[in-house]
Amino acid sequence: MTEEMPVILNDKYLADFVRKDELDGIAPCIMAAAEILEKKSGQGNDFLGWLDLPTIYPKTEEYARIKETALKIQKQCDVLIVIGIGGSYLGARAALEFLKTPQYNELKKETPNIYFVGNNISADHLTNIFSLCEGKEVCVNVISKSGTTTEPAIAFRIFKEYMENRYGKEEAVKRIYCTTDKAKGTLKSLADDLGYETFVVPDDVGGRFSVLTAVGLLPLAVAGVDLDALMNGALKAYEDAKESDLQKNHCYRYAAYRNILYRKGKTVEVSCSYEPCFAMMCEWIKQLYGESEGKDGKGIYPTSAIFSTDLHSLGQYIQDGSRILFETVYHIQKTHSDVVIQHIADNFDGLNFLAGKHLQEVNDNAFMGTMLSHVEGGVPNMVLELPDVSEATLGYLIYFLEKACAISGYLLGVNPFDQPGVEGYKKNMFALLGKPGYEDLAETLTKKLS
Amino acid sequence: MTEEMPVILNDKYLADFVRKDELDGIAPCIMAAAEILEKKSGQGNDFLGWLDLPTIYPKTEEYARIKETALKIQKQCDVLIVIGIGGSYLGARAALEFLKTPQYNELKKETPNIYFVGNNISADHLTNIFSLCEGKEVCVNVISKSGTTTEPAIAFRIFKEYMENRYGKEEAVKRIYCTTDKAKGTLKSLADDLGYETFVVPDDVGGRFSVLTAVGLLPLAVAGVDLDALMNGALKAYEDAKESDLQKNHCYRYAAYRNILYRKGKTVEVSCSYEPCFAMMCEWIKQLYGESEGKDGKGIYPTSAIFSTDLHSLGQYIQDGSRILFETVYHIQKTHSDVVIQHIADNFDGLNFLAGKHLQEVNDNAFMGTMLSHVEGGVPNMVLELPDVSEATLGYLIYFLEKACAISGYLLGVNPFDQPGVEGYKKNMFALLGKPGYEDLAETLTKKLS
């Protein structure tokens, strides 16, 4: 097993923006936030199950069963359809693309293709995925705490019918896996009635904190991800993040700096990386922080970029537009592959000064050059150093960011674990679609629309 | 050929945020901006070639040659590698995904796979693409005005060697197509020396405005896109956008509202759509507006979201976080596919109230419900109505957004056609990589980093 390497926060390039005594100034608040988190006495404290997952979960029967079931699914099918939205979608997809590249489906050899549905209401998307299932053996993993969230519920209704028509009811049951509430809800009832194998979305773990439960782990295991390495990475972060000296606690320091920058008017965070495999991780980060902090008229707006690609689109703005941004760079120190630039005799492109250099070295210099340039342009930059693209690093990073997010939320004075603002569109949508019980709202909305 | 349908700006849901007389108030500035644009007397007026492209370009020899060459490439290869960054990358990819779905490579039948490289410095990305070329016939379209932009230059150096090793020098020449300067530069010289077929990046069309030149059109034609329909759509927008009555000119009105909202402190625009095929169009939009407006310490920060996916990640923030956002919704009225939700006897999921409804209808109600909810939460919403996902609509939209962007930039008081801020990272990167001529800067930077 790989040694779990820590994620390090490099704050050297913040020096022009945040003085050391500002960090000292916020330290008591950070420690207060940490205390209510650890003592589980703060707001949203019935959703703190994620905090101890790395120590508890790998010892459970379910964890072992995930690994067994993944092997079974690998044998059963060529395509695994993962139905879920929000936290029941982003974590697994982000981890998959980080560990196995965004071209996983085109490049992988032994393991099934993995397609994500039920995270939108697009007929074209669903139709495309059905085309990709043609002639392939299919299994389904439907992930929904309640079973009633509209997007995955619609997708599951359609895929359940597809599976039953294609395989017959009995065989379909053997190919459908549910990750849902342990005891109640629409999906759990159905699973019990029909005999689907089930895994649990814990009561005390919110969607955006659930990637290290069956929610994320089952699809990842099917893709061949080493769950033990992932969980060990998270365990290392769990231990490191208990450090009470703020200077040594990179997780708390990240939370502290974010809050200091926000109070200085930096209202937008650009999470960025120089590797395309990090793009979906950025989406996961955006949910984690956006949903946890964006409430009560407050919060840093989470955005993302992949460089150097987006230096040629957003780069101009970051360098020289409104000074409302700060950047958090996820710097991957070692990628899977290595490409060396060759010397060529005619030097037609004038690039021989790069001959013998590894692409990683060029990329690293783009990163450092960009950071110095953006800092000079007035954009605070923090760097989270990731040693590699391994399971251990990812597990560490996930836990690190979850805990930093919780601290950030408490520091901001919000409940980091609720998301009341997500209900608005759902209610309106139900009313407009004529769901029984929403008649009054429907009338109000129809007037507004007419 | 399809009738070119216009893109309509629905501003009804702005009523709570912008009064009619505010639009009257800004009208004279809009007309002044339009006048310097049409008379080509404003800043950056040597980069206005895009303004008349729809009337001129389809009549050229090159346009005809693009179509012929695309047919040839379709016969030559299974994989077309498109090398380019920024405007030499985003337009073609965005249009491809919009018209042919994001799963183009997995779903298309006759036409070649299309992979984009040279838009980053990732060894893993390049290595993955080489894996995908194994056992496939390959052609290359390298797109670079100068031939010296680092990212595509490195990728081209590597792919040129690959093609020559694999096919021999003579055959490689027949499989490499260059889109570059008409007369000068590294890539043009090489093409002339070796005999590559070339297409032109016009002098007076900046990268982010170049999708309707050979830059975008050659890869799109290879993917089977109907160029005539695309250009006809753009021509219709060209004509419609000449309208001098602001109330009837949707393009100018979009620019006007953006500026009004910006002056009210809405510093972040969320461009969003309910169809995943629009995701890369959002990236193109982010470059177009970010690079054009983000300068001199000013500008709206361009971000994007795909709903309803991101309602379960960014939705909470948009509904209830810092009130710095406005949304521009790209509402696609008709998609390629149609899925109808079926009635089921046991109604296990309680969704029978949706039975008989088309997924598009559910999606549209999610859109309307979300808009009403976000507006109530204090987020101004504009809607750009797109009739369908056709070439005609896309051509119209591209021209519409380009012209609105130019007007927006002039209204903001910046040169919408330069991007001086992109140079900073390039210079630093060259210095750090030891490029001859950058020795002094290298010394300064090395000190900063040590």
Q: Do the bridges between strand A268-273 and strand A197-200 make them parallel or antiparallel, or are there none, so unpaired? A: unpaired
Write the single-letter amino acid at A149.
T
Length, in residues, of chain A: 450
Distance CA A230, CA B338 (A): 40
Do B429 and A369 make contact, defined as CB atoms within 8 angstroms? Answer: yes
Please identify which of the residues B343, B426, B439, B443 carries the catalytic annotation. Answer: B426
Do A342 and B433 make contact, defined as CB atoms within 8 angstroms? Answer: no
CB B176 within 8 A of CB B142: yes
Do B127 and A376 make contact, defined as CB atoms within 8 angstroms? Answer: no
Query: Which ipTM was obtained for this model?
Result: 0.97
Write the single-letter amino acid at A429.
M
* pLDDT given for residue B450 in this prediction: 87
* pLDDT given for residue A1 in this prediction: 42
CB nearest B297 (choices: A323, A363, A365):
A323
CB nearest B373 (choices: A127, A132, A428):
A428
With cut-offs at 50, 70 and 90, classify the pLDDT of residue A305: very high
Do B354 and A156 make contact, defined as CB atoms within 8 angstroms? Answer: no
Do B128 and A156 make contact, defined as CB atoms within 8 angstroms? Answer: no
CB atoms within 10 A of CB B3: 10
Query: What b-and-e string marks burial along B329-365, b requiring 16 or more CB atoms within 10 Å of the CB?
Result: bbbbeebbbebebeeeeeebbebbbbeebbbbbbbbb
- Rg over alpha carbons for chain B, rounded to the nearest Å, is 23
Backbone angles phi, psi at B331, to 5 degrees: -95, 110
A51: tokens are: 């905090």
Average pLDDT of the residues in B204-222: 98
Average pLDDT of the residues in B228-235: 98
Do B307 and A120 make contact, defined as CB atoms within 8 angstroms? Answer: yes
With cut-offs at 50, 70 and 90, classify the pLDDT of residue B417: very high
Mutation target to probe the A interface, by most A beta carbons within 10 A, among B12, B16, B99, B124 is B124
CB B115 within 8 A of CB B136: no
**Chain A residues with CB inside 8 Å of B157's CB?**
341-342, 344, 349, 351
Do B363 and A90 make contact, defined as CB atoms within 8 angstroms? Answer: no
CB B439 within 8 A of CB B323: no
**Chain A residues with CB inside 8 Å of B408's CB?**
none
pLDDT at A92 over 50: yes
| Residue A167: exposure state from Cβ atoms within 10 A (0-12, 13-18, ≥19) | middle
A96: tokens are: 């998959």
**Chain B residues with CB inside 8 Å of A376's CB?**
424
| Residue A331: exposure state from Cβ atoms within 10 A (0-12, 13-18, ≥19) | buried
Do A425 and B294 make contact, defined as CB atoms within 8 angstroms? Answer: no
Mutation target to probe the A interface, by most A beta carbons within 10 A, among B259, B425, B428, B441 is B425
The chain A residue lying nearest B105, using CA atoms, is A106
**Chain B residues with CB inside 8 Å of A308's CB?**
85, 119-121, 151, 425
pLDDT at B179 over 60: yes
Please indicate whether residue B403 is annotated as part of the active site: no
**Chain B residues with CB inside 8 Å of A340's CB?**
none
**What is the average pLDDT score of chain B?**
96
Helices (H), A305-415: 315-320, 359-376, 391-412
Average pLDDT of the residues in A363-385: 97
Chain centroid to Cα A76, Å, comes to 28
Do A120 and B276 make contact, defined as CB atoms within 8 angstroms? Answer: yes
CB A317 within 8 A of CB B293: yes
CB B393 within 8 A of CB B5: yes
CB atoms within 10 A of CB A111: 19
The chain B residue lying nearest A89, using CA atoms, is B309
Average pLDDT of the residues in A411-431: 95
CB nearest B283 (choices: A308, A313, A448):
A313
pLDDT at B4 over 70: no
Average pLDDT of the residues in B328-341: 96
* pLDDT given for residue A2 in this prediction: 47
Backbone angles phi, psi at A35, to 5 degrees: -65, -45
CB nearest A449 (choices: B128, B368, B430):
B368
CB B287 within 8 A of CB B278: no
Please indicate whether residue B312 is annotated as part of the active site: yes
CA A153 to each of CA A86, A139, A144, A413, B359: distance values in angstroms, whole numbers, following the listed order: 13, 17, 8, 34, 13
Do A432 and B90 make contact, defined as CB atoms within 8 angstroms? Answer: no
Please identify which of the residues B59, B109, B312, B447 carries the catalytic annotation. Answer: B312
Residue with tokens 């009619």: B20
CB A359 within 8 A of CB B151: no
CB nearest A421 (choices: B309, B319, B342):
B319
CA A155 to each of CA A162, A164, A435, B99, B359: distance values in angstroms, whole numbers, following the listed order: 10, 14, 18, 24, 10
DSSP structure string for A145-167: SSS--HHHHHHHHHHHHHHHHHH
Q: What is the pLDDT of residues A232-279, one digit of tens each?
A: 999 999 999 999 999 999 999 999 999 999 999 999 999 999 999 999
**Chain A residues with CB inside 8 Å of B147's CB?**
349
A255: tokens are: 């939370």
3 state SS of B393: helix
CB nearest A421 (choices: B119, B316, B449):
B316
**Chain B residues with CB inside 8 Å of A325's CB?**
301
Count of pairs with CB atoms under 8 A, one residue in A, one in B: 442
CB A191 within 8 A of CB A171: no
The chain B residue lying nearest A16, using CA atoms, is B448
The chain B residue lying nearest A360, using CA atoms, is B123
Do A85 and B350 make contact, defined as CB atoms within 8 angstroms? Answer: no
Backbone angles phi, psi at B312, to 5 degrees: -95, 20
Give just the sign of the alpha carbon dihedral A428, A432, A433, A435.
positive
The chain A residue lying nearest B194, using CA atoms, is A348
Average pLDDT of the residues in B275-302: 98
Task: Tell me the nearest-neighbour CA distance from B387 into chain A, angstroms.
Answer: 15
Do A433 and B86 make contact, defined as CB atoms within 8 angstroms? Answer: no
Task: Tell me the nearest-neighbour CA distance from B234 into chain A, angstroms.
Answer: 23
3 state SS of A237: helix
B299: CB partners within 8 A, 6+ apart: A317, A321, A322, B290, B293, B412, B414
% of chain B exceeding 90 in pLDDT: 98
B382: tokens are: 């504009």
Task: Tell me the nearest-neighbour CA distance from A59 into chain B, angstroms.
Answer: 30
B109: CB partners within 8 A, 6+ apart: none
% of chain A exceeding 90 in pLDDT: 97
Backbone angles phi, psi at B405, to 5 degrees: -70, -45
A341: tokens are: 């630039």
The chain B residue lying nearest A126, using CA atoms, is B339
* pLDDT given for residue B2 in this prediction: 47
**What is the average pLDDT score of chain A?**
96
With cut-offs at 50, 70 and 90, classify the pLDDT of residue A450: confident
Return the closest-CA partner of residue B140 out of B109, B110, B171: B171
Please identify which of the residues B291, B327, B391, B402 carries the catalytic annotation. Answer: B291
Mutation target to probe the A interface, by most A beta carbons within 10 A, among B159, B262, B317 is B317
Task: Tell me the nearest-neighbour CA distance from A26 into chain B, angstroms.
Answer: 22
Q: What is the pLDDT of residues A133-163, one digit of tens each?
A: 999 999 999 999 999 999 999 999 999 999 9
Please indicate whether residue A109 is annotated as part of the active site: no
Please identify which of the residues A169, A184, A336, A426 carries the catalytic annotation. Answer: A426
Residue with tokens 């140079």: B423
pLDDT at A433 over 70: yes
Please identify which of the residues A97, A291, A391, A402 carries the catalytic annotation. Answer: A291
pTM: 0.97
**Chain B residues with CB inside 8 Å of A131's CB?**
107
